[in-house]
Structure 1
Amino acid sequence: MKKTIVIVDDHLLIAKALEGIIGNFGDFEVIYVAENGKDLIEKLENGEKIPDIILLDISMPLMDGFETAFWLKVNHPNIKVMALSMQGDDNSVIKMIKNGAKGYLLKNTHPKDLEIALSKLSSDGFFYPEWASKIIFSNINGDKGNEKAVRISDREKEFLTYTVTELSYKEIAEKMCCSPRTVESYRDQLCEKFDLKTRVGLAVFALKNGFAES
């Protein structure tokens, strides 16, 4: 069964072009287009089908991508949001991720890379290209000196290195010389910071951001 997609973009030509491109992907189909966040909410609240994925522009009138992503995070957390924008600056990437986006692409992305990104988003739960991962990593470590940067403690970093192993949480606790409850606390804090839900998500995050070796 094909994964369903909704495009939210105030530029109709771009939205229709995307719809045509995605129509050539075997595993995905666009079920409708919304002009902005407000239009999307009205469609969802009026009974339009809830999609698996939303491709979300950032700069839109009435309700932009930041507000829309946050609304979706609160009201439809199972929808996977992929930001698709011309804006690739650090602040936009970090703000979209904090507001619930599970992926981030620029609009000049090659169609084949878009198909790969959608497939990864569907299978892994998130997708960030290398350039976006570098932004996330630099903000995690506070390299920008941004007071709003997402920070990870040394103990959380240590925990991340164990997420890619086959050790149980109890065994990880023994390695870290702490209680299983403390390890669960590290897990919960990291999941909250990066809007992840499973150990698999934490493990993939650890590998993508250099906290563990594959």
Structure 2
Amino acid sequence: MKKTILIVDDHILIAKALQGIIDNFTGFEVIDVAENGKDLIEKFESGGKIPDIILLDISMPVMDGFETALWLKNNYPEIKVMALSMQGDDNSVIKMIKNGAKGYLLKNTHPKDLETALSKLSSDGFFYPEWASKIIFSNINSDKTNEKAIKISEREKEFLTYTVTELSYKEIAEKMCCSPRTVESYRDQLCEKFELKTRVGLAVFAIKNGFAES
């Protein structure tokens, strides 16, 4: 079954062109286009289909991407939001992530890279290109990522070494000879300890504190 996508962008020609590109990807289809956050909400409230993924522009009139992402986080947390914008500054990236975005791409991204990003977002639950990961890295408070201040178990350390790999959580569970639920428990415990939100944050922590090679 194909993953469904809804595009939110006030430039309709761009949105329609993007729809044409995505509809040629294997495993994905665009089911609707909205002009801004308010338009998106109205579509949902009138019985519109709820997509698996939303590609969300940031600079839009009426209701921008920041506000829309936060609304989606509070009302439809199961939808994976991928920011797709011309804005690649630190503030925009960090604010979108805090507001619930699970991925971030620039609009000059090559279609092949967009397809890869959507696939990773679907399988792993997140996707941040290297440049966005560096922004996330630089914004992590080192005071919150001090192993000496917060105890980490040996099994949690082992889990951290796998966060920088491309292994899925199921594959990590196989490596650690435990259940996927146990791996999810390690993830949740570490995220809570260090006030992190995503696997990218955990991977950055692992690299920064010597649990994995950068």
Q: TM-score range by the shorter chain?
A: 0.7 to 0.9
Residue in structure 2 matched with residue 123 of structure 1 by the alignment: 123
Distance between the aligned counterparts of 1:67 and 1:134, measured in 2? 24
Cα distance in 2, alignment partners of residues 111 and 131 from structure 1: 18
Partner of 1:98: 98
Q: Deviations over 1:32-52 (max 9, x none)?
A: 000000000110111101000
2:173 aligns with: none
Partner of 1:43: 43
Pairing 1:1-214 to 2, within 5 Å after superposition = 1-141=1-141, 152-155=144-147, 159=152, 161-164=157-160, 166=176, 186-190=190-194, 193-194=196-197, 196=198, 201=199, 205-207=201-203, 210-211=207-208, 212-213=211-212
* Residue identity matched to 2:63: M
TM-score of the aligned structures, taking structure 1 as reference length: 0.78
C-alpha contact (below 8 Å) 2:196/2:202 kept by paired residues: no
C-alpha separation between the residues in 2 aligned to 1:102 and 1:157?
A: 27
RMSD between aligned alpha carbons? 2.5
Return the alpha-carbon distance in structure 2 between the equivalents of residues 157 and 141 of structure 1.
14
Structure 1 unpaired stretches of 5+: 143-150, 169-182
Task: Evaluate the alpha carbon distance shift between residue 157 and residue 133 of structure 1 in structure 2; reply closer, same or farther with a 3 A threshold.
Answer: farther
Deviation, structure 1 residue 188: 2.4
Q: Kindly tell me: are residues 45 and 110 of structure 1, through their superposed partners in 2, closer, same or farther at Cα, counting changes over 3 Å?
A: same
TM-score (norm 2): 0.78
C-alpha displacement of 1:67: 0.2
Query: Which whole-Å deviations, capped at 9, do the CAs of 1:76-133 have from their partners, x for residues lacking one?
Result: 0000000000000000000000000000000000000000000000000000000000
Query: In the TM superposition, what is the alpha-carbon distance from 1:26 to its structure 2 partner?
Result: 1.1
Runs of 5+ unmatched residues, structure 2: 162-175, 179-186
Separation in 2 of the partners of 1:135 and 1:158? 26
Cα pair distance change 1:167/1:139, threshold 3 Å: farther
Count of residues in Structure 1 that have an aligned counterpart in Structure 2: 184
Would you say the 8 A contact 2:66–2:95 is kept in 1?
Answer: yes
Amino acid at match of 2:31: I
Alignment check: 8 A CA contact 1:90 1:135 kept: yes
Q: Percent identity?
A: 70
Question: 2 CA distance for matches of 1:157 and 1:137?
Answer: 19
Partners of 2:111 and 2:64 in 1: CA distance: 24
Helix, strand or coil: the match of 2:88? coil
Structure 1 residue 213: Cα displacement = 1.7
